[in-house]
Structure 1
Amino acid sequence: MLYPELFKTMEAVRWNMAHDIPWGDFDRSKLSDEQAHTIKMNAITEWAALPATEMFLRDNRGDSDFCAFMSVWFFEEQKHSLVLIEYLRRFCPDLVPTEEELHNVRFEFDAAPELETLMLHFCGEVRLNHWYRRAAEWHTEPVIKAIYKTVAQDEARHAGAYLQYMRRALHDRGQDTSAQARLAFSKIGVLMASAGRTHQALHPTNLHVNKDLFPNDTVQSRLPEPGWLEHWLDTQIRFDGVWEQKVATRILHILSKLMDRSFETVKDLNRYRKEMTALIVPKEKEIILGGA
């Protein structure tokens, strides 16, 4: 099991909201109304760890190890929302999200293939780490800069934990699961490393997840200002092509090590995805025909 060691590792570096956030360094003159508003939007977005956890527990009922790890992930992700809300409570009480605004991002996600969801959230943590690092640079008020640096480090650790479960799928669950994992990871990797080619912010909170609620079925679409994310990225923290390339490079580098294959570009990864599809799809057809 991975959970016991992951728990110990994360417990050892877990920060304390009362003692590790430099609340006393707050400088009102260095916080603009524009910046404060983005903190509210991120606080609500982080609250979406709740429906994501419900999804993970539902879709991974056969994997008690991973579901146990969710107790750590859920706790730390909800603390991200809480620390942002606490910042607003102390310094901008008129911007504290209402319970209704928080509850509005809790809705059911459609079931999806487990391995693809795992890879999607691994990439999401990588991307969020970079978003929050950039946000820490954009902000000018010392306390919120420290908060964003802190939660960015958490997101990096979460990506590392998901990576361990990805590695387990490749090496410890048999050849069939390994092949399916390679296809799933390369498929989602192509999507999530190609954000520079799209106008959409490729993060789990900005993807459609419930066909019956479409188009109001992304976390971002259920925020008080649905178009906030793109404005935050493009105009405020300026998450430009240079930063997008950092995300893509990180994803390709990790997949290269994970699958023992060099992926210098998204095209390299897409070629690998096609190879895996050619290997797996014929076998699946054989199984179906054999059982007919």
Structure 2
Amino acid sequence: MLYPQLFADLEKARWNMADDIPWDQFDASLLTDDQAMTIKMNAITEWSALPATEMFLRDNQDDSDFSAFMSIWFYEEQKHSLVMMEYLRRFRPELCPTEEELHAVRFEFDPAPPLETLMLHFCGEVRLTQWYRRASEWHTEPVIKQIYKVLSTDEARHGGAYLKYMKRSIERCGVEAKQAFAKIGFLMASSARSGKPLHPTNLHVNKELYPNDTVQSRLPDPEWLERWLDEQIQFGKEWEARVVGGILRNLSNLFEVPLETTGDLNRYRKQLTA
């Protein structure tokens, strides 16, 4: 089982919201209204770990090891939402999300192949690591800068944990797992081709609710994400290359084949399905 060691490793790295966030360093003059609003939107988005966890537990009933790991992932992701809400509660209480706004992003996800979902969320962690790293650079207020640094590090650890389950899946399922990981990896690394940044929170997940079946579509401002990325934190080509590079490097190590470009990954994907 992977869960016991992952629990021990993540327990050692766990941060304390009371002691490890420098609340007393807050500088109101360095926080704009626009910046504060992005914190609210990210707090609500992080709350969507709740329906994601419900999905994982439903679709992995035959895997108690991975399901147990969800207890860690769910706790830490909800903590991300909580620390941003605590920031707003202290310094911009009028922007703190309401219970109704939080509950709006809790809806049922359609069943999907568990291996593809695992890869999808691994890629999501890789992307969120870089989004939060860039957000920390963009913000000017020191407390929220530190919060985003902490969250970015958490997301990187989560990606590493998912990667361990991906490696185990290849040992158990062989080519089937490789096909799933290559398929979703190519999709998630091809944001330039899709014309938008691909992340689990902006993908359609419930046919009956379409088009209101993405987490992003249920935010108070559904257009927020693209504006945050393009105009505010300015997540440009250099940063996007870090996301794609992270996906390719990890898949290259996982598959034990050189994958330097999305084209390489696509060719490998076609070889697996030939």
**TM-score, normalised relative to structure 1:** 0.93
The answer on whether the counterparts of 1:47 and 1:105 sit within 8 Å (CA) in structure 2 is yes
The residue number in structure 2 matching 1:182 is 178
Is the contact between residue 196 and residue 241 of structure 1 (CA under 8 Å) also seen in structure 2?
Answer: no
Partner SS, residue 109 of structure 1: coil
- Partner AA of 1:248 in structure 2: V
Identity across matched positions, percent:
70
Is 2:225 the partner of 1:216? no
Q: Which amino acid aligns with 1:42?
A: N
Q: Does 1:72 align with 2:68?
A: no
> Does 2:198 align with 1:202?
yes
Give the corresponding residue for 1:118: 118
TM-score, scaled relative to structure 2: 0.99
The amino acid that maps onto 2:273 is T
CA-to-partner distance for each residue in 1:189-208, whole Å, 9 max, x for gaps? 10111112232220000100
Q: Which residue of 2 aligns with 1:107?
A: 107
SS at match of 1:216: coil
Tell whether 2:256 aligns with 1:260. yes
Matches within 5 A, 1:133-144: 133-144=133-144
Deviations 1:202-229 (A, max 9, x none): 0000100000000000000000000100
Instruction: Give the unaligned 5+ runs of structure 1.
Output: 279-292
The one-letter code matched in structure 2 to 1:8 is A
Take 1:227 and 1:29, find their aligned partners in 2: how far apart are those partners? 27
Cα distance in 2, alignment partners of residues 129 and 197 from structure 1: 21
Alpha-carbon distance between aligned partners in 2 of 1:102 and 1:202, rounded to the nearest angstrom:
22
- 2:59 maps to 59
Counterpart of 2:85 in structure 1: which amino acid? I
Cα distance between partner residues in 1 of 2:273 and 2:194? 24
RMSD, aligned α-carbons: 0.5
Letter in 2 for 1:264: E
Structure-2 separation of matches of 1:149 and 1:198: 28
- Within a 5 Å distance, the mapping from 1:86-97 to structure 2 comes to 86-97=86-97
- Per-residue deviation, residues 45-67 of structure 1 (Å, max 9, x unmatched): 00000000000000000000000
Q: Does 1:237 align with 2:270?
A: no
Question: What number of residue pairs does the alignment pair up?
Answer: 274
Q: What is the one-letter code of the residue matched to 1:158?
A: H
Shift, 1:178, TM fit: 1.2
SS at match of 2:174: helix
| AA matched with 1:160 | G
Structure 1 CA distance for aligned equivalents of residues 38 and 192 of structure 2: 23
